[in-house]
Every structure is written in structure tokens, then in C-alpha cells.
């Protein structure tokens, strides 16, 4: 029996199709996995992937939603945040790609 409601397609609005100039918000996947009505902790993430399967967001948007945006949030505040974790290498790659050039470097 499915108790949880499916992921709302309104979350897709963060990824720009209908936003001015195609702008994207840095939405982050969060789930109330510990909530009483989540019978199986393996269900929330596949349910979120329905946004891709239903054509609301792209696979790249989903990766940003479930990984890259969170890495940027915590990793830019504390570059060592992910050290020693299973995702340290992937997080370092996201942070390296996200670094914005300084004004001097841009000149």
C-alpha cells in the first residue's frame, strides 16, 4: 500500500522552464524519511525520480536537486565538509566546477 503522496511536479519550477530567463533555483532534495508514514526508506528517492520520468526535469536537474546543490551549499561554507565521506571525491569535483573566477582572473 502506498501511503506517501507522490513528489509534486511543482518542484520542477525550480529548474527554469517557466522561470524568467530560464533561471534556476538551487533546490535541494529533502525528505521526511524518518516520518511515521514512510514505511520503507528506499521509496522517497525513486519517487522523486518520477520528476525525470514524467519529463518535468532533466537527469542533470535531478543530480543538481539530489546532490550538487547540497554540496555547493555546505561545501562552499566549509570546503572540508565532505572530507572522509563516501562522496568526498565527487563533492570536490562539484566544488571545483562551481568556483567562480575572481575579477582579476576574468581580466
pLDDT of residue 2: 36
Question: Distance between the two ends of the chain, CA-based, in angstroms?
Answer: 60
Rounded distance between C-alpha atoms, residue 79 and residue 91, angstroms: 10
Residues 6+ apart with CB under 8 A from 100: none
Binned average pLDDT, 10 residues per bin, the chain of 107 residues: 53 82 87 77 87 93 95 95 97 91 53
pLDDT of residue 4: 44
Residue with cell 522561470: 19
pTM comes to 0.78
Amino acid at each position: 500500500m502506498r501511503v506517501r503522496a507522490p513528489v509534486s511536479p511543482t518542484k520542477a519550477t525550480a529548474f527554469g522552464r517557466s522561470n524568467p530567463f530560464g533561471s534556476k533555483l538551487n533546490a535541494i532534495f529533502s525528505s521526511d524519511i524518518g516520518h511515521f508514514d514512510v514505511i520503507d526508506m528506499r521509496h522517497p528517492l525513486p519517487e522523486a525520480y518520477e520528476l525525470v520520468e514524467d519529463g518535468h526535469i532533466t537527469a542533470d536537474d535531478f543530480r543538481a536537486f539530489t546532490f550538487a546543490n547540497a554540496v555547493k551549499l555546505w561545501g562552499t561554507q566549509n570546503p572540508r565538509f565532505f572530507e572522509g565521506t563516501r562522496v568526498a571525491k565527487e563533492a570536490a569535483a562539484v566544488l571545483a566546477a562551481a568556483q567562480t573566477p575572481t575579477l582579476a582572473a576574468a581580466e
